């Protein structure tokens, strides 16, 4: 188990010990350091946890970062310490300080809304100005800039090692073209981790119905769509007897509460779906597997439509509120929403999205298109320094920021649940980046959502109608890539 999880579990052990002794809320200052601390500090650091970086001192030079500030994406990088006891922000600030002190740089951050960030990068590259060394961009719109050759391939960044655990392992599948990766992600972007999909479940509902928590199913590889369907079957009901099932009422219950722009993608990618493949030269091609997708969609349809889930297309806030009210067994959302649940009366747990079946090797987690991606602008003049500092920020985030994020996701109620700590590792270490979702979002990339909204039962006609347009988009991507000077 990775040391981040071990650190969290060790901290949770302290909490369990204090709770067993009758302590409530936040404990008083301990008279001596808990024994478990020694276990964490003495744990052997493996080779994969160590960044192979040269000893450099840049003499106080500025390392300039352009970042997004939309939504929670301001969490990616900070130039100033928090003033409101924000543990994640403090951790990011401390990460920056460690890197600054080690390499003799001054990190300077400029932030703006994502559209302005993209426009600034494009202007900078086209004019050849060296304004920024590293940028955090919007996943979907950033992908368009990559095709316009606004970024340096990560293969050209000498000291960035994408095999290390602080970089997402599916990056090549989702963003590399011709063995050139222009966008990357991982621990360096805490906001991106927060936009990873998961399932929350209401423990009180499980207890009341004498159901076993799904943790062991996850660990044994048996957490599948069929098991998910079994849990939610016939659970949605008219509890107050008024003849209707009302998600805006206070009594009726649902097996699943979900948002139309989340759950179709969460379940599809969780079940192994995908629309684009690569040839032997790492060039993408449109590759729909209709028979497989018919099976995946059939199970998603059963979970959402047949089992009468709350599938909301307009009132986003009510989706989460229904779960907070204790009226839903499951809630499909991102890890970011854990913070919203801090005042929920019922205990809840966190698990990954289900596999299609037990033969699927890993649990897979969808990453929302608003996620940040990191890139080095093509006009950057010092690529060696950019590669050193980028790798240092990523590796240091793995060691110091991600453990704090885990604790943030496990606030109060879940913090007494060691199983949920382990579940988060399943979630964030198997994230899915699909070129089809990023580049075909307004077309076939959103077919599951479109079909669920219309309650359609077959995918074949949709694939047939979108086949030509989808192939054309991939063709234009390749043409854009081949136009590189």
Q: Which two tokens stand for residue 191?
A: 């906001």
Same domain membership, residue 332 and residue 187: no
Q: Which domain holds residue 281?
A: 197-366+431-482
Residue 391 or 13, more confident: 391
HSE toward the beta carbon, residue 333, CA cutoff 13 A: 27
- Residue 34 belongs to some domain of the structure: yes
- Please indicate, yes or no, if residue 312 is contained in any of the structural domains: yes
The DSSP result for 26-79, as a single string, is SPPPPSS--THHHHHHHSPPPGGGS--------TTEEEEEEEE-STTGGGG--S
Backbone angles phi, psi at 194, to 5 degrees: -65, -25
Q: Are residues 285 and 405 in the same domain?
A: no
- Quote the number of domains for the chain: 3
Gap between the Cα atoms of 206 and 417, Å rounded: 15
Same domain, 295 and 325: yes
User: Which residue in 199, 187, 161 sits closest to 404, CA to CA?
Assistant: 187
Residue spans of alpha helices (H) in 325-459: 383-400, 402-409, 418-428, 435-439, 447-454
* 197, pLDDT greater than 70: yes
Name the band, by pLDDT with cuts 50, 70 and 90, for residue 7: very low
Residues 454 and 341 in one domain: yes
Length of the chain: 485
Question: Does 387 share its domain with 358?
Answer: no
Residue 424 within a domain: no
Tens of pLDDT, residues 414-452? 445 778 778 888 998 888 888 888 888 788 889 999 999
User: 414 lies in a domain?
Assistant: no
CATH of the domain at 79: 3.40.190.10
Residue 107 lies in a domain: yes
Question: Same domain for 359 and 441?
Answer: yes
Q: Residue 371: left if φ>0, alpha if ψ -120 to 50, beta else—which one?
A: beta
Rounded Cα distance, 277 and 88, in Å:
37
Does 418 reside within a domain?
Answer: no
Phi, psi at residue 254, to the nearest 5°?
-135, 145
Same domain flag for 437 and 289: yes
Tell me, what's the pLDDT at 422?
83
Picking from 372, 246, 241, the residue whose alpha carbon sits closest to that of residue 312 is 246
How far is 261 from 158, CA to CA, in rounded Å? 38
Question: Using one digit for the tens of pLDDT, what is the confidence trace for 88-146?
Answer: 888 999 999 999 999 999 999 999 998 899 999 999 999 999 999 999 999 888 888 88
Residues 40 and 141 reside in one and the same domain: no
Report the share of the chain in percent with pLDDT over 70: 86
* Whether residue 116 sits in one domain with residue 67: yes
64 and 165 belong to one structural domain: yes
Q: Does the pLDDT of residue 78 top 90, yes or no?
A: no
Whether residue 350 sits in one domain with residue 387: no
Higher pLDDT, 294 or 39: 294
- Is 334 among the domain residues? yes
Pair 259, 112 in one domain = no
- Of residues 85 and 259, more confidently modeled: 259
List residues bridging with 200 in a β-sheet. Answer: 331, 350
Residue 426 located in a structural domain: no
């Amino acid at each position: 188990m990775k040391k981040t999880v071990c650190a969290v579990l060790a901290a949770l052990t302290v909490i369990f010990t204090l709770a067993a002794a009758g302590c409530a809320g936040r404990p008083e200052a301990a008279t001596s350091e808990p024994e478990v601390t020694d276990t964490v500090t003495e744990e052997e650091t493996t080779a994969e946890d160590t960044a192979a970086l040269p000893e450099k001192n840049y003499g106080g030079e500025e390392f300039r970062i352009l970042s997004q500030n939309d939504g929670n994406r301001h969490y990616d990088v900070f130039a100033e310490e928090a003033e409101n006891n924000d543990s994640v922000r403090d951790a990011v600030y401390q990460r920056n300080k460690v890197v600054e002190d080690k390499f003799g740089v001054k990190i300077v951050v400029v932030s703006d809304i994502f559209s302005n960030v993209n426009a600034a990068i494009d202007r900078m590259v086209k004019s050849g100005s060296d304004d920024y060394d590293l940028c955090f961009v919007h996943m979907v719109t950033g992908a368009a800039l990559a095709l316009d050759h606004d970024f340096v391939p990560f293969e050209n960044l000498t000291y960035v090692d994408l095999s290390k655990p602080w970089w997402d392992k599916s990056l090549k599948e989702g963003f590399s073209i011709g063995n050139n990766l222009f966008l990357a992600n991982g621990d360096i972007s805490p906001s991106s981790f927060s936009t990873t999909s998961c399932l929350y479940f209401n423990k009180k509902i499980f207890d009341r119905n004498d159901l076993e928590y799904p943790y062991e199913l996850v660990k044994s590889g048996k957490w599948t769509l069929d098991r998910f369907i079994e849990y939610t079957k016939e659970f949605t009901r008219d509890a107050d007897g008024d003849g209707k099932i009302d998600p805006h009422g206070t009594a009726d219950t649902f097996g699943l509460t979900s948002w139309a722009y989340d759950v179709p993608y969460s379940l599809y990618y969780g079940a192994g779906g995908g629309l684009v493949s690569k040839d032997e030269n790492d060039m993408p091609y449109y590759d729909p597997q209709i028979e497989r997708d018919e099976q995946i969609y059939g199970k998603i349809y059963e979970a959402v439509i047949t089992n009468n889930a709350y599938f909301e297309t307009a009132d986003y806030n009510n989706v989460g509120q229904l779960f907070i009210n204790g009226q839903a067994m499951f809630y499909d959302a991102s890890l970011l929403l854990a913070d919203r649940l801090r005042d929920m009366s019922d205990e809840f747990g966190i698990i990954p999205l289900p596999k299609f079946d037990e033969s699927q090797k890993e649990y897979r987690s969808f990453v929302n298109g608003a996620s940040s991606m990191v890139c080095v602008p093509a006009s950057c003049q010092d690529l060696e320094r950019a590669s050193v500092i980028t790798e240092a920020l990523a590796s240091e985030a793995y060691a110091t920021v991600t453990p704090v994020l885990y604790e943030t996701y496990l606030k109060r109620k879940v913090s007494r649940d060691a199983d949920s700590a382990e579940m988060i590792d399943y979630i964030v270490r198997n994230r899915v980046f699909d070129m089809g979702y990023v580049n075909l979002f307004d077309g076939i990339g959103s077919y599951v959502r479109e079909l669920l909204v219309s309650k359609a039962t077959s995918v074949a006609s949709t694939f047939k109608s979108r086949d030509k347009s989808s192939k054309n988009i991939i063709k234009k991507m390749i043409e854009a890539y081949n136009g590189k000077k």
